Amino acid sequence: MDVEVRIRGLMMDPSTNMPIVVLKDVASDTVMPVWVGIFEANAIAIEIEKVSAPRPMTHDLTRNLMRHLNAQLERVVITELREDTFFAVLWLRQGDEVVTIDARPSDAIALALRADCPIYVAEQVMQTAKLNTSGPPEGPTAEQLRGWLEGLNDEDLGRYKM
């Protein structure tokens, strides 16, 4: 079963200065961090803030390609956590055909925002990530990170709060 999540915020990891997308279960207070690259965080932030670039960014181009091919992004699912790496799948519909495409979670999230489609996390991934997230090498312990994420308020999330 998949757990629907929303973006709770986009922030910098205080110990590594790497961007984190904080996903929150819509039905509970459970949060799950996903570390992303700088460029992917920027693509997500641009869409959160509804800033338009003078030329299409990569995720805008992908959205435009889907539209012109009469495909609709129905949902994205973060499906797996393997060796501290998250995996995601895009669920596209083109007519009567449903196609799944492997994607990085950061790209899937950026596309979901642009397509206004739901974001899900596989229940097993949510359970594993919320309990055992160690972050990037030499990051905080799972207990420290969980306490830190659960204690976030709107000011902590800065200008990217949802």
Instruction: Write down all domains in the chain, each with its CATH number in brackets.
Output: 2-160 (3.10.690.10)
Q: Which pTM does this prediction carry?
A: 0.80
pLDDT band at 161; cut points 50, 70, 90: very low
Region 77-105: mean pLDDT is 96
Name the 3-class secondary structure at 146.
Answer: helix
pLDDT band at 133; cut points 50, 70, 90: very low
Q: What is the pLDDT of residue 141?
A: 53
| Contact of 45 with 36, CB cutoff 8 Å | no
What's the farthest any 2 CA atoms get from each other in the chain?
A: 47
How far is the CA of 112 from the CAs of 13, 44, 123, 131, 143, in angstroms?
A: 23, 10, 19, 25, 30
| Contact of 102 with 76, CB cutoff 8 Å | no
23: nearest Cα among 78, 92, 88: 78
What backbone torsions phi and psi does residue 84 show, to the nearest 5 degrees? 65, 20
Residue 148 has pLDDT above 90, yes or no: no
